[in-house]
Amino acid sequence: MRKLFALLLLPLCVQAGEGSWQASSIGITLTWRGQSASSRALAPSQPVAGLMTVVAWRYELIGPTPAGLRVRLCSQVRCVELDGQSGTTRGFNNIPAAEPLRFVWEVPGGGRLIPALNVRSNKVIVNYR
Protein backbone atom coordinates (compact mmCIF):
# COMPACT_ATOMS: atom_id res chain seq x y z
CA MET A 1 0.00 0.00 0.00
CA ARG A 2 2.86 2.41 0.80
CA LYS A 3 4.46 1.82 -2.59
CA LEU A 4 1.13 2.42 -4.33
CA PHE A 5 0.67 5.69 -2.41
CA ALA A 6 4.19 6.83 -3.37
CA LEU A 7 3.67 5.87 -7.02
CA LEU A 8 0.37 7.74 -7.21
CA LEU A 9 1.97 10.87 -5.80
CA LEU A 10 5.18 10.69 -7.86
CA PRO A 11 3.83 13.05 -10.56
CA LEU A 12 3.23 15.67 -7.85
CA CYS A 13 6.84 15.42 -6.73
CA VAL A 14 8.08 15.88 -10.28
CA GLN A 15 5.65 18.74 -10.88
CA ALA A 16 7.06 20.77 -8.02
CA GLY A 17 10.44 20.83 -9.75
CA GLU A 18 12.65 21.74 -6.80
CA GLY A 19 12.28 19.04 -4.21
CA SER A 20 10.16 17.12 -1.79
CA TRP A 21 10.36 15.49 1.59
CA GLN A 22 8.18 12.88 3.22
CA ALA A 23 7.53 11.87 6.79
CA SER A 24 5.28 9.46 8.65
CA SER A 25 4.44 8.58 12.22
CA ILE A 26 2.27 6.26 14.20
CA GLY A 27 -1.21 7.50 14.94
CA ILE A 28 -3.12 8.50 18.05
CA THR A 29 -6.04 7.17 20.07
CA LEU A 30 -8.88 9.55 20.90
CA THR A 31 -11.36 8.30 23.49
CA TRP A 32 -13.50 11.39 24.24
CA ARG A 33 -15.72 13.58 22.09
CA GLY A 34 -15.11 17.32 22.34
CA GLN A 35 -11.35 16.90 22.78
CA SER A 36 -8.65 17.12 20.16
CA ALA A 37 -5.44 15.17 19.77
CA SER A 38 -2.40 15.99 17.70
CA SER A 39 -0.03 13.67 15.88
CA ARG A 40 3.70 13.88 16.34
CA ALA A 41 5.38 16.58 14.29
CA LEU A 42 6.11 15.48 10.73
CA ALA A 43 9.26 17.24 9.55
CA PRO A 44 11.99 16.81 6.94
CA SER A 45 14.82 14.52 7.97
CA GLN A 46 17.40 16.83 6.36
CA PRO A 47 17.61 20.62 6.02
CA VAL A 48 15.45 22.02 3.22
CA ALA A 49 15.05 25.52 1.82
CA GLY A 50 12.16 26.91 -0.15
CA LEU A 51 8.41 27.31 0.11
CA MET A 52 5.74 24.60 0.15
CA THR A 53 3.69 24.09 -3.00
CA VAL A 54 1.65 20.86 -2.96
CA VAL A 55 1.25 18.74 0.16
CA ALA A 56 -0.09 15.19 -0.12
CA TRP A 57 -1.46 13.42 2.93
CA ARG A 58 -2.67 10.00 3.93
CA TYR A 59 -3.89 8.57 7.21
CA GLU A 60 -5.13 5.12 8.11
CA LEU A 61 -7.71 4.30 10.76
CA ILE A 62 -8.19 1.09 12.69
CA GLY A 63 -11.92 0.53 12.95
CA PRO A 64 -14.87 2.70 11.97
CA THR A 65 -14.80 6.44 11.31
CA PRO A 66 -16.76 8.26 14.05
CA ALA A 67 -19.64 10.46 12.87
CA GLY A 68 -18.55 14.07 12.61
CA LEU A 69 -14.81 13.33 12.60
CA ARG A 70 -12.84 16.50 11.87
CA VAL A 71 -9.24 16.14 10.69
CA ARG A 72 -6.93 19.06 10.03
CA LEU A 73 -3.35 19.22 8.84
CA CYS A 74 -1.57 22.11 10.51
CA SER A 75 1.67 24.02 10.14
CA GLN A 76 2.77 26.46 12.82
CA VAL A 77 0.72 29.24 11.20
CA ARG A 78 -2.11 27.60 9.24
CA CYS A 79 -4.48 24.63 9.33
CA VAL A 80 -6.17 22.97 6.36
CA GLU A 81 -9.35 20.94 6.80
CA LEU A 82 -8.91 17.49 5.25
CA ASP A 83 -11.81 16.00 3.29
CA GLY A 84 -10.78 12.35 3.30
CA GLN A 85 -8.16 9.82 4.27
CA SER A 86 -5.87 10.85 1.42
CA GLY A 87 -5.48 13.71 -0.98
CA THR A 88 -3.51 16.83 -1.82
CA THR A 89 -3.72 20.49 -0.91
CA ARG A 90 -2.17 23.76 -1.96
CA GLY A 91 -3.30 25.30 1.32
CA PHE A 92 0.27 25.61 2.59
CA ASN A 93 1.58 27.58 -0.42
CA ASN A 94 4.36 29.99 0.51
CA ILE A 95 4.96 28.52 3.96
CA PRO A 96 8.61 27.57 4.57
CA ALA A 97 9.18 23.96 3.49
CA ALA A 98 11.18 23.22 6.64
CA GLU A 99 8.15 23.88 8.85
CA PRO A 100 6.76 20.75 10.55
CA LEU A 101 3.18 19.58 9.98
CA ARG A 102 0.79 17.87 12.41
CA PHE A 103 -2.51 16.08 12.00
CA VAL A 104 -5.16 17.28 14.47
CA TRP A 105 -8.11 14.98 15.24
CA GLU A 106 -11.42 15.97 16.82
CA VAL A 107 -14.90 14.50 17.17
CA PRO A 108 -17.47 17.13 18.25
CA GLY A 109 -19.87 16.61 21.12
CA GLY A 110 -19.38 15.19 24.58
CA GLY A 111 -18.93 11.80 26.17
CA ARG A 112 -16.86 8.74 25.51
CA LEU A 113 -16.17 7.54 21.95
CA ILE A 114 -17.22 3.91 21.61
CA PRO A 115 -15.24 2.52 19.97
CA ALA A 116 -12.32 4.92 20.38
CA LEU A 117 -10.82 6.59 17.32
CA ASN A 118 -7.63 4.68 16.54
CA VAL A 119 -5.31 6.13 13.93
CA ARG A 120 -2.80 3.61 12.60
CA SER A 121 -0.53 6.04 10.74
CA ASN A 122 -0.09 9.57 9.37
CA LYS A 123 1.94 10.40 6.25
CA VAL A 124 2.78 13.53 4.28
CA ILE A 125 4.75 14.34 1.16
CA VAL A 126 5.71 18.01 0.95
CA ASN A 127 6.72 19.49 -2.40
CA TYR A 128 8.59 22.77 -2.39
CA ARG A 129 10.42 25.22 -4.61
Find the CATH number of the domain harbouring 106: 2.60.120.260
What global pTM score does this model have? Answer: 0.84
Domain count, the chain: 1
Q: What pLDDT does 15 receive?
A: 45
Contact assessment for residue 120 and residue 18, using Cβ atoms and an 8 Å cutoff: no
Could you tell me the pLDDT band of residue 18, with boundaries at 50, 70 and 90?
confident
Segment holding 51, helix H or strand E: none
Cα dist from 75 to 66, 81, 82, 91, 124, whole Å:
25, 12, 13, 10, 12
pLDDT in tens, 29-62: 999 999 999 999 999 999 999 999 999 999 999 9
Q: Domain of 43?
A: 2-128
pLDDT in tens, 60-102: 999 999 999 999 999 999 999 999 999 999 999 999 999 999 9
State the amino acid at position 30 in one-letter form.
L
For the chain, helix (H) and strand (E) counts, in that order, are 1, 9
